[in-house]
Structure formats: structure tokens, C-alpha cells
Amino acid sequence: MSIPTNIGGAASDMAAALGHIEGEIASARRLVDTRQLPDVSGLLPRIGAVCEALAALPRAEAQPHLETVRRLLALLDGLAERLAENHDALRQQLSASGHQPEHP
């Protein structure tokens, strides 16, 4: 999923960019919930670009996006928590089967 690159101006551009990120996080969460490993390597730079664009907006224009950003943070926290749970479960499975993980 690609994030719009022209997020410097209109509020609709920002809303679209935030919506794309929310969709990408939701897709990653669905994969994690089925014990698949999503590729989220490009997510951080896209979030960074949106945050920079948001920070550059006048306060009155940025304010309406605050709740969406808070929701995205909660979704990211949930994704990170679920990834950690899956990692722990995999380590336990490996340990129970006699395999030692390479990294602690």
C-alpha cells in the first residue's frame, strides 16, 4: 500500500495519508493474528513523513487529526504487543522441542 506523497498541503491529503497508514497497520495485525510475519519495514519512514507534514501544519489545521494519530498509536502498540506475544510463543515452542534460539 503506498502513502500519498503530496501530504504537505490539504487536510484531505493528510486524512488520506493517515487512512493509508491505518489500513497498513490493520493489515499487518491481521497477518500477525494468524501467526504470519508482515513486512512492516517501510512503515516507519511513511509514519515519519506524515508526522513531519503534520508538524508543519498550522495548529488549527493539525488539530483535527489528533484523534486519528492517537488511534494509530494505540494500533501500533497493539501490533507491537501481539508481535511480542507471537515471538514469545515461538521461543517456547522451540525450547519445548529441544531447539535453542540463536538470540536471547
Q: C-alpha distances in angstroms, 95 versus 15, 21, 87, 92, 102? A: 45, 36, 12, 5, 11
Contact call for residues 21 and 50 (beta carbons, < 8 A): yes
d(CA 99, CA 84): 19
At residue 101, the pLDDT reads 60
d(CA 89, CA 56): 42
Name residues of the chain where pLDDT drops below 50.
1-5
At residue 16, the pLDDT reads 93
At residue 26, the pLDDT reads 96
At residue 32, the pLDDT reads 94
At residue 98, the pLDDT reads 80
Q: Which of 36, 3, 5 shows the shortest CA–CA distance to 20?
A: 3
d(CA 76, CA 38): 13
At residue 4, the pLDDT reads 46
Enter the C-alpha cell of residue 52: 513531519
Considering the entire predicted model, what is its pTM? 0.77
